[in-house]
Amino acid sequence: MKIAIGGDHGAVVLKSKVVELLETLGHTTQDFGTFSEVSCDYNDFAYLAAKSVADGINDRAIVICSTGIGVSIVANKVAGIRCALVTDTNQARLTREHNNTNALALGVMNTSMETALEIVKIWMDTPFSNEERHIRRINKIDSIGRDYHIYKAENIVFGMSLKNEQYIENNNMALYTALDKEGVIENRKRLFSSMGILENQVVFPNQTHSNNVVKVTKNDGGKGFNDENGIPNCDALYTFEKNVVLNVFHADCVPVMLYDKNNTVVAIAHSSQIATEKQLVVELIKQLNQEGISSKELVAYVGVGVSDVDGKRLSDIVVEQLQACGVENITQSKENTDTDDYFSFKLNDHERHVSFIYRK
């Protein structure tokens, strides 16, 4: 793995020993300093190390100061970072197994050199448990302070916008339902910029409740962001390219996000009642199969949807269709849109959420 490391003047000696240990264990390091015992601010170095992980440059970060408190606070201010201040080997193990931490904070005053190095070794060697309860809790952590739910798996990021952001009265994401189109565009800019995503990476479809599926590339980036000229007449998108952010709009309709276990493809579908009757996800899986992607290799997330369509939840019908196509790894939201927590056409809302997926 590629490990970023940073610390202040009090961390210089321990930091150098940690670098030696990591390289002995077969990892590569990027040392952001400091390299002198002249007094300096821990903030500068901890931030650079943590940001490099959030940006995908490094896999994990180790940050060090006298107590470990300051650097841990700085690291946790970086979106996407889960940093733990660890003082013993049991904490090192648990923070990886339960919290899937991607940053470790050490305090020179809190641990001996021997203990600190043992903490690093255990933290590096311990895998995340991948238990559903821990995944659920981590996703909730990553969504705090944002106007979207976000989920992560390996290099895959997916999620959906929320109905109300803390300071935004109307978080509508769809131009085709908007009276205030400039407000929608501002909502989109705020959402994607908060994730470090550029406008020219984002692709929107012009949804028509169809079973049409379109393969997109980086050349499609930016389509539909500032206008209604998205990918025409389609309700599902897929791509094999990195950093192409696929989106669908929805209220009571069910968003479906898919990726394969080999991290080569991502896909998204807007499975409305009409599109579900037309078996949109079946057509999407069929096209992915034709591209050489096995159904058994696919991982699907079936999002929130309307609670009752002819006596069944719409998302239950979508899950049945996925299973009939041979998709085995399916996670399904248990929530319904016809509540105050979501936009719902059934409840006379004209606004829409956006769901998204991309591969880093």
Q: Are residues 21 and 71 in the same domain?
A: yes
* Residue that finishes a domain, picked among 94, 125, 156: 125
Is the pLDDT higher at 336 or at 241?
Answer: 241
pLDDT tens for residues 225-254?
999 999 999 999 999 999 999 999 998 899
Q: pLDDT band for position 166 (50/70/90)?
A: very low
* DSSP per-residue string spanning 224-291: TSSSS-SBSS-SEEEESSTT-EEEEEESSSEEEEEEETTS--EEEEEE-HHHHHTTHHHHHHHHHHHT
Distance from C-alpha of 258 to C-alpha of 324, rounded to nearest angstrom: 16
Q: For residue 131, tell me if it sits in a domain.
A: no
Q: Are residues 306 and 273 in the same domain?
A: yes
Q: pLDDT band for position 8 (50/70/90)?
A: very high
Q: Are residues 108 and 171 in the same domain?
A: no
- Taking 50 as the threshold, does the pLDDT of residue 277 lie above it? yes
Q: For residue 229, tell me if it sits in a domain.
A: yes
By residue range, what is the domain housing residue 272? 148-359
Q: Are residues 96 and 221 in the same domain?
A: no
Question: What integer is the mean pLDDT of 264-289?
Answer: 96
Q: Are residues 321 and 284 in the same domain?
A: yes
Q: For residue 87, tell me if it sits in a domain.
A: yes
* Residue that finishes a domain, picked among 91, 125, 159: 125
Q: What secondary structure, in 3-state letters, does 324-346 show?
A: HCCCCEEEECCCECCCCCCCCHH
Q: For residue 324, tell me if it sits in a domain.
A: yes
Q: Give the pLDDT of residue 92.
A: 97
- Taking 60 as the threshold, does the pLDDT of residue 165 lie above it? no
Q: Are residues 254 and 184 in the same domain?
A: yes
- Please report which helix (H) or strand (E) contains residue 75, including its range: helix 69-76
The structural domain count of the chain equals 2
The domain spanning residue 35 has which CATH number?
A: 3.40.1400.10
CA 115 to chain centre: 33
Closest CA to 82 of 123, 30, 22: 123
Q: Are residues 120 and 158 in the same domain?
A: no
The domain spanning residue 272 has which CATH number?
A: 3.60.140.10
pLDDT tens for residues 299-334?
999 988 876 667 788 999 999 999 999 999 999 887
98 is catalytic: yes
Q: pLDDT band for position 146 (50/70/90)?
A: low
40 is catalytic: no
The one catalytic residue among 27, 98, 134, 209: 98
Q: For residue 292, tell me if it sits in a domain.
A: yes
Q: Give the pLDDT of residue 312.
A: 82
Q: Are residues 93 and 158 in the same domain?
A: no
Q: Give the pLDDT of residue 143.
A: 65
The one catalytic residue among 9, 27, 40, 65: 65
Say if strands 60-65 and 2-7 run parallel, antiparallel, or are unpaired. parallel
Q: Are residues 118 and 187 in the same domain?
A: no
Question: Bridge-partner residues for 271, per DSSP?
Answer: 254
Local structure of 62: helix, strand or coil: strand
Q: For residue 137, tell me if it sits in a domain.
A: no
> CB burial class (10 A; 0-12, 13-18, 19+) of residue 301?
buried
The percentage of the chain sitting over the pLDDT mark of 90, rounded to a whole number, equals: 71
Q: Are residues 166 and 25 in the same domain?
A: no
Q: Are residues 53 and 186 in the same domain?
A: no
Is the pLDDT higher at 332 or at 149?
Answer: 332
- Taking 80 as the threshold, does the pLDDT of residue 208 lie above it? yes
Q: For residue 132, tell me if it sits in a domain.
A: no
- Taking 60 as the threshold, does the pLDDT of residue 158 lie above it? yes
Q: Give the pLDDT of residue 68.
A: 97
* Residue that finishes a domain, picked among 125, 140, 159: 125
Q: Tell me which DSSP letter residue 67 carries.
A: S
Q: Give the pLDDT of residue 249.
A: 95
Q: Are residues 87 and 211 in the same domain?
A: no
pLDDT tens for residues 36-80?
999 999 999 999 999 999 878 899 999 999 999 999 999 998 878
Question: Bridge-partner residues for 152, per DSSP?
Answer: 157
Q: For residue 221, tell me if it sits in a domain.
A: yes
